[in-house]
Structure 1
Amino acid sequence: MAPRYAPSLRSRLAPLLLLLQTGFIVIYGFYTEVESNVKVQGSDFRSSYPNLQDVNAMVFLGFGFLYTSFVRYGFSGCGLNFLVAVMATQLAIILNGIESWYYRGKITIHLGSIVVAEMCTVSALISIGAVLGKTNPVHLILIAMLEVSGFVLNGWCLRTLLKVQPLNSIMQLHTFGAFFGLILTWMLYRKGSEQQFEKEKSDRKTGLFSMFGTIFLWMFWPSFNSALIEDGTPGRKLQVVCSTYLALAVSAVTAAAVSILSSHKGKLNPNHMQSCILAGGIAVGVSISVVHHPWEAMAIGFTAAVVSTTGYKYLKIHTLLAFQSHDTCAVLSTYGLPSLLGWLAHLLLQLKDCNDQTLAIRFAVFHICTLLFTIMMSLSMGIITGLLLRLNLWRPPQDKKCFDDQAFWEFPHLAVHK
């Protein structure tokens, strides 16, 4: 007999979406304006728009296809990623413009503000990977809203209290998203997860689509890391693009080698290739402000791939068994560990270039405070979000309905006729 699926989302998801969207329309109607100047943050439209398109491709195509890996969760992985991203980006534009609204009475919207908003959204998409398949669409919308709010607040605190540069504060998104997702999946732990859910599996077709997503992310990651670099700095944007590409290339090769070495049969593991080839781009993005030579980027990419691939093989099962944290897409090893490595590389490279010992000690303390504050903020927001999502008001899916599109999507040809 075919299983019964979740009841209609009409009373939960639709009102939430309409309420949020109506609120956004009102705010945009009264408190926003589009930048009318030809120049946008030091660059004209023709040079800024490609950055927006590249980040769009990562957010909607890259992460969308990446989350189609489960055999019966492809529509949800891609479709709900799209829904979450467009809602979170609208919120991020508002939150990032609060300071402008306070001083000018209007939130100015331009290409740069949309790019920054989508980068904030990426932190939420990373966290969603940790709870993918075990939540319903209402959960995902709430997660995105709360996490984007927390990430914007974290960036504001770093810039205001610790005087962190805007680029460095935004590049903390990998660390913030990974630890937010990790604590959230711990808060939402389901008994019996050690045995794997009934539909938590992949096949060749879904694995291929997921690999497409990884390749999209890999291709556009140089644009992601260089999107906020001002064109006024001669050669700096090109340097960032080249460094990121080299780090990605080295991490792809290294991940493949480590995958073969760690396999009992000496074969490539598709999960390693889908997740760990991005490690170099993530790590070098966190440390991009101090990476000035190709060999530095390549060394960071090599180390990040080793750490990420090894972590994927061993950490995912250990965090599940030891800490009851069911990290669905292994965001800790895919994003968390490379971002921590990038933070460490940033510290070491900065100390290497510093001749004053007193100044080096002060920078080290400052750098450590930046990381600890980001982790503390992400864990705090994750706990708050987890407590909210544990309410039965949101009607979480039953175990047998996890990782299944049919719980939330209408498929007439699969309908159960009584």
Structure 2
Amino acid sequence: MAPQYAPSLRSRLAPLLLFLQTGFIIIYAFYIQIESDVKVDGTNFSNFYPEFQDVNAMVILGFGFLCTFLVRYGFSGSGFNLLVAVMATQWAIILNGIESWYYRGKIRVDLRSLVVAEMCTASALISIGAVLGKTNPVHLVLIALLEVSGFVLNEWLLQTLLTVRPLNSIMLLHIFGAFFGLMVTWILHRKGSGQRFEKEKFDSKTGLFSMLGTVFLWMFWPSFNSVLVDNRTPVRKLGAVCSTYLALAVSAVTAAAVSVLSSPKGKLNLIHIQSCILAGGVAVGVSISVVHQPWEAMIIGFIAAILSTIGFQYLKIHMLLAFQCHDTCSSTLSTHGLPGLLGWLAHFLLQIKDCDDHTMAVQFAVFHICTLLNTIAVSLSMGIITGLLLKWNVWRPPQNKKCFDDQAFWEFPHLAVRK
């Protein structure tokens, strides 16, 4: 079967990557300029660089190892994650700098713009988890480029039409990525997905590698949530770090408890642990600008873990049977979508609680609801467009029996048949 797949990558992946990378180099040569000012929102390079590295570690190591849980898809899970991340980040830098290019003639790049680009990329990596193993790398690159385009468009709409703060609009990446991914996997639904795919399984070794990705994400999530908080107010930044850590800690404890309670044998479920302990970080990240007290973050983490664990336990099979939506990671909705919606609701309630003027409260409620509706509408629309584009047979999707199999894309010299 190997020769059948070799032309697919040779004639499609290589030209696509070379074309895109050449185009990026040309754009960067003429329109990209490194910011000469060493200050980044009042913080010098040496102070901001560790936070950039934390976000970088989450995107590359965290999401990369997290996708290695499938027995025969470890090379692809980690390798394609890196490929998609670096391509999408280059594209996000260009899209985020269009306004700067329009007014200044150049796109200014600094550490903050790199961080924002990687956060846009994170939304694409969330979506890719839903179609992991059922697509080829050409699909994944196209998904990432189109989703980053949609996410930047949504961010621009929120900030321009609804005057949403940049931090709040970017943190909606969890909701955007979850609904985009579910829509793509729904459009790309395969016959026979109701039955588990032959190679869609994991063992203790791959589970351990995947847990390593969860540990990376858990450790660096406070930086992810606080990196864009205004550095000129250290108290707010410290509050964001502490709130995220407390929410993550509570969600880890709660996820373990709910996992044991939901098990017929009263044992911990590794998949529950590695996915649902992150729910608190997702939820508090969406509401980070209005969370000021430790107990608020802890309650959000507590509810997020319960919602995520129960959703993980029951949503995948119901989504598959009711909507023909096969989510490979099973965490697109339960780890990012539902906790993201919870974070949006927490932001709504906490902001209303702190608002003394009734008129302002009503105005905020309308704008906040419009923010969610706009995000979901753009994500679903872009997901449909992307799914329909990827349904073309010209991209040569893998056959069902070759899904979740590294041998369709990677060389294994020790398995070669020697004549």
Q: Which category of TM-score, normalised to the shorter sequence, fits these structures? A: over 0.9
Q: Which residue of 1 aligns with 2:315?
A: 315
Please name the residue that 2:96 is paired with: 96
Name the SS for the 1:195 alignment partner.
coil
- Aligned partner of 2:283 in structure 1 is 283
1:383 maps to what in 2? Answer: 384
- Name the stretch that deviates more: 367-376 or 357-366: 357-366
Spell out, residue by residue over 1:313-350, the C-alpha distance to the aligned partner (whole angstroms, 9 max, x if none): 00111000110000111201110000000000000000
1:7 Cα deviation from its structure 2 partner = 2.6
2:59 is the alignment partner of 1:66: no
CA distance in 1, matches of 2:167, 2:404: 36
Question: Offset at 1:399?
Answer: 0.2
CA contact (8 A) 1:134 1:402 kept: yes
In the other structure, the counterpart of 2:5 is: 6
Whole-Å Cα distance in 2 between the matches of residues 286 and 398 of structure 1?
A: 38
On the 8 A contact 1:68/1:78 being kept in 2, the answer is: yes
Counterpart in the other structure of 1:209? 209
Paired residue for 2:369?
368
Normalization by structure 1: what TM-score? Answer: 0.98
2:16 aligned partner:
16
How far residue 231 of structure 1 moved from its aligned partner, in angstroms, is 1.3
Q: CA deviation digits over 1:218-241, x for unaligned, max 9? A: 000000000101210131111100
Deviation of the 1:6 alpha carbon: 2.1
Encode CA deviations 1:178-221: one digit per residue, 9 max, x unaligned. Answer: 00000000000001111111000000000000000001000000
Instruction: Provide the C-alpha distance between the structure 1 equivalents of 2:245 and 2:40, rounded to a whole number of angstroms.
Output: 26
Q: Which runs of 5+ in 2 are unaligned?
A: none
Q: Cα distance, 1:417 vs. partner?
A: 4.5
- Is contact 1:280–1:301 with CA below 8 Å preserved after alignment? yes
Amino acid at match of 1:398: Q
Matches within 5 A, 1:224-239: 224-239=224-239
1:152-175 deviations in Å (ceiling 9; x for gaps): 010001000000000000001000
| 1:328-379 CA-partner distances (Å, limit 9, x unpaired) | 1120111000000000000000011111222111111110000000000000
For 1:145 and 1:414, locate their aligned partners in 2 and report how far apart those are by CA, in whole Å.
34
1:21-79, Cα deviation, whole Å (9 max, x unpaired): 00000000000100111212221001110111000100000000000000000000000
Whether the 8 Å contact between 1:283 and 1:301 is mirrored in structure 2 is: yes
How far is the alpha carbon of 1:5 from its aligned partner? 5.9
AA aligned to 2:348 is L
Shift of 1:253: 0.3
Q: Secondary structure at the match of 1:192?
A: coil
In structure 1, how many angstroms separate the alpha carbons of the residues matched to 2:129 and 2:4? 23
Distance across 2 between alignment mates of 1:46 and 1:166? 24
Structure 1 position 274, deviation (Å) = 1.1
Q: Is the 8 A contact 2:2 2:407 kept in 1?
A: no
> What is the alpha-carbon distance in structure 2 between the residues aligned to residue 4 and residue 413 of structure 1?
17
Corresponding residue number in structure 2 for 1:332:
333
How far has the Cα of 1:280 moved from its partner?
0.2
Q: What does residue 135 of structure 2 align with?
A: 135
Percentage of pairs with the same residue: 76
Q: Distance in 2 between matches of 1:415 and 1:402?
A: 20
Corresponding letter in the other structure for 2:54: D
Cα distance between partner residues in 1 of 2:384 and 2:145 = 14
5+ residue gaps, structure 1, are: none
Change in 2 beyond 3 A, CA 1:4/1:417:
farther
The 3-state SS of whatever aligns with 1:33 is strand
Distance in 2, Cα, partners of 1:81 & 1:246: 29
Question: Separation in 2 of the partners of 1:4 and 1:15?
Answer: 18
Alignment of 1:110-259 (within 5 A): 110-259=110-259
Match of 2:36 in 1: 36
CA distance in 2 between counterparts of 1:306 and 1:160 reads 35
Q: Is the 8 A contact 1:5 1:406 kept in 2?
A: no
SS in 2 for 1:108: strand
Q: Name the counterpart of 2:356.
A: 355
**Do structure 1's residue 397 and structure 2's residue 395 form an aligned pair?**
no
Assess, with a 3 A threshold, how the Cα gap between structure 1 residues 198 and 5 changes in structure 2: closer, same or farther: farther
Q: Considering only aligned residues, what root-mean-square deviation do their CA atoms show, in Å? A: 1.0
Structure 1 residue 290: deviation in Å? Answer: 0.3
**Aligned 8 A contact 1:5 1:401 in 2:** no
Match of 1:343 in 2: 344
Aligned residues: 417
1:416 deviation in Å?
3.7
TM-score with structure 2 length normalisation?
A: 0.98
* C-alpha distance in 1 between matches for 2:274 and 2:136: 24
Alignment-mate amino acid for residue 411 of structure 1? F
1:64-103 deviations in Å (ceiling 9; x for gaps): 0000000000000000000000000000000000000000
One-letter code aligned to 2:5: A
Distance 2:206 2:4 in 1: 22
Note if contact 2:283-2:341 (Cα within 8 Å) is conserved in structure 1. Answer: yes
For 2:28 and 2:39, the matched residues in 1 are separated by: 22
1:306 is aligned to 306
Q: Take 1:70 and 1:416, find their aligned partners in 2: how far apart are those partners?
A: 25
Partner Cα distance (2:157, 2:252) in 1: 35
The match for 1:296 is: 296
CA shift for structure 1 position 415: 2.0
